[in-house]
Amino acid sequence: MTRISKLAFALMAAMMFAGMQTSTADAAIRCDGAYQVFKHGGQHRSPLCEDRYLAQIARKYGMRVSAYAVHNSDYEKAQVCYTIGHDIRVSHICGAYLNEGGNQRKD
């Protein structure tokens, strides 16, 4: 292997390891809809769980979107909210992206 190939391989391995660390932490969070479930049985609204739930509902509408994309991209979240924000299950999540008419983002 050349020196550049070894460096590229090491860089790819490091990036994959970093990605696994993030997904492992996210996987440890249990959600019930838009609410995070704690070990003691309590629940609390959490941005991560809300985004997972929003993506889940969007997929039921036929949209091809991941929870990761919704959570990490305001643009993706806005597009999902513009499309399905009228749904009562996600209207509280999309409130910041919709006005009373449901078509404009609040500033």
Look at residue 21 in the predicted model and tell me its pLDDT: 47
Look at residue 38 in the predicted model and tell me its pLDDT: 94
Is-contact 34 70, C-beta < 8 A?
Answer: no
Sheet containing 30-32: which strands, arranged edge to edge?
Answer: 30-32, 35-37, 43-45
Instruction: Give the integer Cα–Cα distance in Å for 86 and 94.
Output: 9
Report the chain (107 residues): mean pLDDT per 10 consecutive residues.
63 60 64 94 94 97 97 96 96 86 47
